[in-house]
Amino acid sequence: LNRPAEVARLLGLPRGVVPVSGLVVGVPDEKPPLRPRLPEALVLHENRYRAYTPADLDAAYEAMAPASRRGDWLFVLERYFARGGTMEQRDPAYGFLAARQGFAADWPPEAAEALFVRGLDAGDLGEAIEQLLAGGWRGVLFGRGPFGESTVWLEKETAAERGEGKTPGEALGRAVEAALPAEE
């Protein structure tokens, strides 16, 4: 999928939802057996996203259980979306989009967005630090404030900026907001 962040914005997807699509056109050489599929009512959204009910999720699990040799579809999903899993190995744009949609434990969506509007597209805290160091910042120092809040200092030869937040990722996002102007 090209430009998944733009697709998510255009569809008005809530946090926790990442667009994924693929299309294959052609005629197969063989006739493989049909694989399990989610019920159409669970995958077809017209014009906007429709939230699922617990009954919808149960129906999805039952429909897809045969797709796994173990009969456990959640196991397949966990491997797919786990660190180092199939999803992470896809287009790097998905790492950033996953962070913006709330899937990165150490990287709040607001921090990912703050870096994005400044020309950085980090999918997690480690990528953010790497991109800042590659961009000329010589140090990123994390600490704790007097009330337990996270603090971050960004250091350059001629400048230093401080950010605070509930988490290290939030503090880094605020330091970047103070240090770098948003791109037009």
Query: Helices H, strands E: what count in the chain?
Result: 9, 3
* pLDDT in the model for residue 184: 65
Distances (CA, A) of 104 to 89, 100, 111, 140: 15, 8, 11, 20
Mark whether 122 and 175 lie in a shared domain: yes
> Residue 61: which domain range?
1-10+52-90
Say if 113 falls within a structural domain.
Answer: yes
| pTM of full prediction above 0.85 | no
Report CA torsion sign: 94, 95, 100, 103.
positive
Tens of each residue's pLDDT in the chain, 184 residues: 777 888 888 889 998 888 887 566 898 899 988 889 999 989 999 999 989 999 999 999 999 999 888 888 888 888 888 888 877 676 667 778 888 888 887 888 888 888 888 888 888 888 899 999 999 999 999 999 888 899 999 999 888 999 999 999 999 999 999 998 887 6
Q: Is residue 146 part of a domain?
A: yes
Same domain? 153 vs 120: yes
Kindly state whether residue 59 falls inside one of the protein's structural domains. Answer: yes
Predicted pLDDT of residue 5: 82
Q: Are residues 115 and 145 in the same domain?
A: yes
CATH label of the domain that carries residue 168: 3.30.160
Residues 69 and 2 in one domain: yes
Residue 30 lies in a domain: no
Dihedral sign for Cα atoms in the order 56, 57, 60, 65: negative
143 and 85 within one domain? no
Full strand arrangement of the beta sheet holding 150-155: 139-144, 150-155, 160-165
Residues 122, 63 share a domain:
no
The residue among 119, 122, 126, 133 whose CA lies nearest residue 181 is 119
Number of domains in the chain: 2
* Cα of 22 vs its chain's centroid, Å: 19
On whether both 86 and 117 belong to a single domain, the answer is: no
Assess contact for 133 and 156: CB atoms under 8 A: no
* Cα–Cα dist 172/184, whole Å: 21
